[in-house]
A and B are shown apart, each in its own frame.
Chain A
Amino acid sequence: MKYIIISIGLLFAGIAALNLFGGSLVQEIIQPVKVSESPYNGPAASPAAGKTAPYFELADLAGKKVRISDLAGSPLVLVFWTTWNPAAADQIKIIDDLSRQTDPPQFKIMAIDSQEDRAVVANFIKRGGYQVGSLLDENGAVSESYKITTLPAAYFIDAKGFVRDIELGTLSAAVIVDKAKATIGAR
């Protein structure tokens, strides 16, 4: 009889200990379900994770020039997209919703439209009522330097300008936040 009581006691003690001290082990059972999100995982050929993000200077929709150095100092999520790609367009909605949250995330988000006319991009952003900032890579040079072959593509860059992660395909808000937070903690 005492063995039963000891066994049950150990079982509940184990669950309690995992809950209190299990850290990342217990994280998995209390996080929402994450569906395997993109058919590609892992870094593109170049720039590989761990290297400095390529420099760029692009105009936003108002014509103001924005450099990547202007976005340094906090983790950055760069999302490459285009209006004619439905998955990429959905990504804009997701990062727009994220940027509107009352509890702002500890990272910046910037979209870069790849090889489209300013009027087309401005029209799409206006029609959707999206407020997320978007830069225009009209000639595709920046997309080339980041070796973008699939849209949408997300680059997770830490505060010092190093690429920490690259994800291809549409990402949910939860995944973007998780990966951006991992970037914050990366050394």
Chain B
Amino acid sequence: MSLTFILDNLRFALEQLGALAFFVAAWLAFSAFRQRRDLASGSWFFGFALLTIWHMMNAFGFEADLFIYAGYIIRAVGLLLLIISLSKGRPFQGVAMTAVLVLPSVTKAAIPFNIIGFIGVSIVALLACLRCIREKNRVDRPLALGFLFLSVTELFLLFSNQNPLVGFWLIAHSAEAIGYLLLAIWSQHYLRTHLKEEIILVFLTIALIVTTIVTLAFSTFIIARVEADTENNLSINAKVLNLAIEQLKKSALAEAKYLSDRSDIRSAIQSNDFAGLQRILSSSLESEDLGFIAVTGRDGAVILRAQAPTAKGDNLSGERAASSALAGNPLVTVEFGAGEGFSVRGAAPVISGGKIIGAVIAGFPLDNAMADNIKKITGLEMSIFNGSVLAATTALNPDGRTRDTGTQVTDETVLADVLRGGKSLTADTQFLSRAYIASYLPLHDADGKIVGMISSAEPQQDILNAAAATNRLTFLVVGLITLFCVPPVYFLAQKLLE
């Protein structure tokens, strides 16, 4: 199972711990609010209550923009209420609130809201520290320290991306865990004098822990199967794609041989009838379903290209396919050439009177159009690499309009195992800072040399989204069942105290 998935599950458990810590604090604050009914206790209670809600929302990781936006607002208001409560000793002038008239998109709002979160948590930590110092209060020290660690978390999260394998992410969530534990220690001190609340909270804590463990165990099992199936499917996909390219090779060689045997092409070359040759090649390009056709003279200089009639005169004798054909040996290979690009190409000699008078090179560019067609037939996302450089892909970038062709694979495991080692590989990998599960196969030329790779990949985010959905559903079901036990425990605690 991938480390990404394990860490994502740990994040889920951590957010539940945070929700529990804030819930306990909110419950205690509610007890105080019931007695005092003032601004300070009320804002203390609502602040912790809103932060509890925010942590639950964060744990489930809903992707809808409206949900994320609501979470930002709930968190900001919760922190503001805590700040109001902690500053209750100072003259309270009231806060001028401006109505929100236009809401920007979530991605635009994310950065300022994350900064607001960091500032808010830092202010709460500062005010809590000042209160401890002013009142010489050792009991509230865990509260101050807890928020201090949470502000460190917010600071590191500002500079980390969502990749759980990056150092800042790990530091941030470690600090977050310490912060929640300190809040729990602080809450526990006050619980000693509230027996009924302590009984109920102990039960709720146990229920939450059980629910979280069941959820994580279930999703771990399910997602492990999903990951294994995904890897298996990707491996099969890569083999299917390899088969498609092998078929292209056979077709390219057969077409090159067929075209080189045609008497009209032979006559056109001999008589230098370029107009006639262009008509024949244009017609053949379409009728034979080829990607390109090039005809060279005896010396390897291009006489005509069907797909680009004005691109001629360059010499192909340095290319493997053309040189083999000019030596009298038909050949099919995968190679890169300036004229035809990275392509599958078959080449065959044109022979007249027992002498080689030229060569026909026919084939298929390994480009985005070819990849798109294979995807339409097989339904598989694929990528083709010329060496380590992405030559063709079916996948569009998140912007929905560009492809990453021309970029390079930098994953050393892929380069070592596939490109240099000639092995197939199915593994977690990174490409352009995005995490994927990918299966790679090497591409060989006619001499058995590795000239590139083909791959089939799935973004890891798809699997994480499936995990999050599983977590939500399982947690909801198990949590609801557990909560049915709360009223009996409550009444039992009530009776015990009576």
Contact between B372 and A28 (Cβ–Cβ < 8 Å)? no
Residue of A nearest to B287 (CB): A119
Q: Which residues of B contact A33 (CB under 8 A)?
A: 105-107
Alpha-carbon distance between A172 and B369 when the two chains are bound, in angstroms? 17
Residues 67-95 of A at the B interface (beta carbon under 8 Å): 86-87, 89-91, 93-94
Contact between B66 and A19 (Cβ–Cβ < 8 Å)? yes
Alpha-carbon distance between A41 and B43 when the two chains are bound, in angstroms? 49
B290 contacts which of A3, A86, A94, A123 (Cβ < 8 Å)? A123
Subset of 8 A-B contacts with CB under 8 Å? A4-B81, A28-B103, A29-B103, A29-B104, A30-B64, A127-B291, A127-B373, A172-B401
Q: Nearest chain A CB to B82's CB is how many angstroms away?
A: 12
| With known contacts A8-B77, A127-B364, A129-B372, A122–B105 Cβ distance under 8 A | no
In the A-B complex, list the 5 residue pairs whose CB atoms are closest, starting with the nearest.
A172-B400, A128-B369, A129-B373, A119-B282, A172-B401
Alpha-carbon distance between A122 and B100 when the two chains are bound, in angstroms? 54
Alpha-carbon distance between A86 and B405 when the two chains are bound, in angstroms? 10
Does B308 lie at the interface of the complex (its beta carbon under 8 Å from any beta carbon of A)? Answer: yes
B residues near A, CB below 8 A?
37-39, 42-43, 46, 64-66, 69-70, 73, 77, 81, 97, 99-107, 109, 282-283, 285-286, 289-291, 306-309, 364-365, 368-370, 372-373, 376-377, 396, 399-403, 405
Alpha-carbon distance between A124 and B306 when the two chains are bound, in angstroms? 12
Contact between A128 and B372 (Cβ–Cβ < 8 Å)? yes
Q: Which residues of B contact A130 (CB under 8 A)?
A: 369, 372
Residue of A nearest to B365 (CB): A127
Alpha-carbon distance between A119 and B288 when the two chains are bound, in angstroms? 12
Q: Which residues of B contact A18 (CB under 8 A)?
A: 100, 103
Contact between A29 and B369 (Cβ–Cβ < 8 Å)? no
Contact between B286 and A129 (Cβ–Cβ < 8 Å)? no
Does A141 lie at the interface of the complex (its beta carbon under 8 Å from any beta carbon of B)? Answer: no
Residue of A nearest to B107 (CB): A33
B309 contacts which of A4, A86, A117 (Cβ < 8 Å)? A117
Q: Mark A1-30, 1 if CB is under 8 A from B, else 0.
A: 101110110010011001100100110111
Contact between A89 and B368 (Cβ–Cβ < 8 Å)? yes
Contact between A31 and B103 (Cβ–Cβ < 8 Å)? no
Q: Nearest chain A CB to B351's CB is how many angstroms away?
A: 27
Known pairs A4-B46, A94-B396; list 10 more (Cβ under 8 Å): A1-B42, A8-B77, A14-B100, A22-B103, A29-B65, A90-B402, A93-B369, A119-B307, A127-B370, A128-B368
Q: Mark A118-153, 1 if CB is under 8 A from B, else 0.
A: 011011101111100000000000000000000000
Contact between B368 and A90 (Cβ–Cβ < 8 Å)? yes
A8 contacts which of B38, B46, B106, B401 (Cβ < 8 Å)? B46
B77 contacts which of A5, A11, A93 (Cβ < 8 Å)? A11
Alpha-carbon distance between A93 and B371 when the two chains are bound, in angstroms? 11
Contact between B306 and A11 (Cβ–Cβ < 8 Å)? no
Does A35 lie at the interface of the complex (its beta carbon under 8 Å from any beta carbon of B)? Answer: yes
A residues near B, CB below 8 A?
1, 3-5, 7-8, 11, 14-15, 18-19, 22, 25-26, 28-31, 33, 35, 37, 86-87, 89-91, 93-94, 96, 117, 119-120, 122-124, 126-130, 170-175
Q: Which residues of B contact A93 (CB under 8 A)?
A: 368-369, 372
Q: Which residues of B contact A15 (CB under 8 A)?
A: 70, 73
Alpha-carbon distance between A104 and B290 when the two chains are bound, in angstroms? 32
Contact between B291 and A123 (Cβ–Cβ < 8 Å)? yes
A7 contacts which of B97, B290, B369 (Cβ < 8 Å)? B97
Alpha-carbon distance between A3 and B93 when the two chains are bound, in angstroms? 13
Residue of A nearest to B293 (CB): A123
Q: Which residues of A contact B405 (CB under 8 A)?
A: 86
Alpha-carbon distance between A7 and B364 when the two chains are bound, in angstroms? 67
Alpha-carbon distance between A4 and B399 when the two chains are bound, in angstroms? 42
Contact between B370 and A119 (Cβ–Cβ < 8 Å)? no
Contact between A29 and B77 (Cβ–Cβ < 8 Å)? no
Contact between A1 and B39 (Cβ–Cβ < 8 Å)? yes
Alpha-carbon distance between A154 and B368 when the two chains are bound, in angstroms? 21
Q: Nearest chain B CB to A108's CB is how many angstroms away?
A: 20
Q: Which residues of A contact B73 (CB under 8 A)?
A: 11, 15
A4 contacts which of B42, B65, B402 (Cβ < 8 Å)? B42
| With known contacts A26-B103, A129-B376, A1–B65 Cβ distance under 8 A | no
Residue of A nearest to B377 (CB): A129
Alpha-carbon distance between A151 and B155 when the two chains are bound, in angstroms? 44
Q: Which residues of A contact B65 (CB under 8 A)?
A: 29-31
Q: Which residues of B contact A94 (CB under 8 A)?
A: 396, 400-401
Q: Which residues of B contact A175 (CB under 8 A)?
A: 400-401
| With known contacts A30-B66, A123-B307, A174–B400 Cβ distance under 8 A | yes
Q: Which residues of B contact A127 (CB under 8 A)?
A: 289, 291, 364-365, 369-370, 373
Alpha-carbon distance between A35 and B37 when the two chains are bound, in angstroms? 49
Contact between A90 and B373 (Cβ–Cβ < 8 Å)? no
Q: Which residues of A contact B77 (CB under 8 A)?
A: 8, 11
Q: Which residues of B contact A91 (CB under 8 A)?
A: 401
Residue of A nearest to B106 (CB): A29
Contact between B283 and A119 (Cβ–Cβ < 8 Å)? yes
Q: Nearest chain B CB to A120's CB is how many angstroms away?
A: 6
Q: Which residues of B contact A35 (CB under 8 A)?
A: 399
Q: Which residues of A contact B100 (CB under 8 A)?
A: 14, 18
Q: Nearest chain B CB to A44's CB is how many angstroms away?
A: 20
Q: Nearest chain B CB to A2's CB is how many angstroms away?
A: 9
Most buried by A among B286, B290, B370: B286
| With known contacts A37-B401, A174-B400, A120–B308 Cβ distance under 8 A | yes
Residue of A nearest to B97 (CB): A7
Alpha-carbon distance between A29 and B64 when the two chains are bound, in angstroms? 9
Alpha-carbon distance between A127 and B134 when the two chains are bound, in angstroms? 77
Contact between B282 and A117 (Cβ–Cβ < 8 Å)? yes
Residue of B nearest to A125 (CB): B369
Contact between A170 and B282 (Cβ–Cβ < 8 Å)? no
Q: Which residues of B contact A11 (CB under 8 A)?
A: 73, 77
Q: Which residues of A contact B377 (CB under 8 A)?
A: 129
Alpha-carbon distance between A93 and B372 when the two chains are bound, in angstroms? 8
Q: Nearest chain A CB to B253's CB is how many angstroms away?
A: 18
Alpha-carbon distance between A67 and B308 when the two chains are bound, in angstroms? 28
Residue of B nearest to A2 (CB): B42
Contact between A1 and B38 (Cβ–Cβ < 8 Å)? yes
Alpha-carbon distance between A122 and B285 when the two chains are bound, in angstroms? 9
